[in-house]
A and B are shown apart, each in its own frame.
Chain A
Amino acid sequence: MSTEKQLTEQESLQLIQQMINKAKGSYHDTGIGPILWGSIITFCSLVTFAEIQFRFNMPFDVWLLTLFAIVPQVFISIREGKMRKVLNYEEVALGYIWTCFGISIFLLIHINTNLVPQLNTIFTDYNTLKGPHEITFDYASYSTAFFLLLFGIPSILTGAITKFTPMLYGGILCWVCCVISVYTGVKTDLLLMALSAMAMWLIPGIILRRKYLNKRECSKN
């Protein structure tokens, strides 16, 4: 591109349009993050399901793996940030969305861990007073719905903003699972969570990874 070439008004507008279009196509997710979280949530859900179904206990709470997964996630984010040649506004927006999502998950866990003992106390007192009219309410069978509700939000937004339909449809499926989980027991809820994690993170993550590797291969040749 020459430096001081004087442009006509029409050429100027064409150039602006061309450059804006070039900048638009510069966002590429490596897919590692969705693969990581899709695998972990699917694995944890299925292991917890197996624990209930086959009546065994793991020596540790399998969901602690999600805490350990934060370490590679931070490492991946820093590495991707260093590799990045351009930072789009959509990436900035997505960064905020996923950070809010991560914080919301911790807040929900915090609410649940405080709410369950309180509910248990109330129900114990109620059952003591009422005698034979016992309440059969299991909060755990509803808590999955709250998680699925939260899981769906960033996935749908990411899919919509980046126009990546596998993640968008995965997020919608997650919300469908959220509705179903309100009416099902804990075991089914866990299967629904595994299905959601696969549909909205693991499979889209694999698709993104393949696209990214293909693009990298093409740019090398």
Chain B
Amino acid sequence: MFKELDPILHSQLRLAVMSLLISVKEADFIFIREKTNSTAGNLSVQVQKLKEAGYIDVIKEFKDNYPNTSCKITKKGILAFEDYVKALQQYLQVKQP
């Protein structure tokens, strides 16, 4: 029986954000935008969806008098990501002859 792929993660930009955040402790919004080659508006929407799912924490603070947003993955996010990768591997194993 195949596990269904998590619809929150199974989208290009959200998966890219989660893959970045799984490898680091914390990352700025600008860093994520640069690495994912996305627009600020688009990224904002997807970050909000990941936050609502409880997969990431969004921290808003001031750095040198400028507002700064940073993100970090939550424990729930790590588990969801691991499940997603396991499910992917299941699919790929079946497809391979």
Residues of A bordering B, CB below 8 Å: 1-7, 9-10, 12-13, 15-16, 18-20, 22-24, 26, 82, 85-89, 91-92
Contacts and interface: CB of A to CB of B under 8 A. Distances in A.
Interface string B1-43: 0000100001111111001101111111011000111100010
Given A1-B38, A3-B46, A12 B10 contact: yes
Interface of B is mostly: helix
A5 B85 CA distance: 18
A9 B12 CA distance: 11
Given A9-B92, A89-B24, A23 B35 contact: yes
10 contacts: A1-B13, A1-B16, A4-B11, A9-B92, A15-B16, A16-B19, A16-B85, A19-B23, A23-B19, A86-B31
Contact of B26 (A10, A15, A22, A86): A86
A88 B24 contact: yes
B22 to A, nearest CB: 7
Interface residues of B, number: 33
Given A6-B11, A82-B63, A87 B35 contact: no
B12 A1 contact: yes
Nearest to B84: A12
Contacts of B36: 1, 19
A9 B88 contact: yes
B15 A12 contact: yes
A3 B10 CA distance: 10
Interface string B54-97: 00000000011000000000000000000001001001100100
Given A9-B91, A9-B92, A19 B27 contact: no
The 8 closest A-B pairs by CB, nearest first: A19-B19, A23-B23, A85-B31, A85-B28, A86-B27, A87-B26, A9-B91, A16-B19
B32 to A, nearest CB: 9
Given A1-B13, A3-B11, A5-B12, A92 B28 contact: no
A22 to B, nearest CB: 5
A87 B88 contact: no
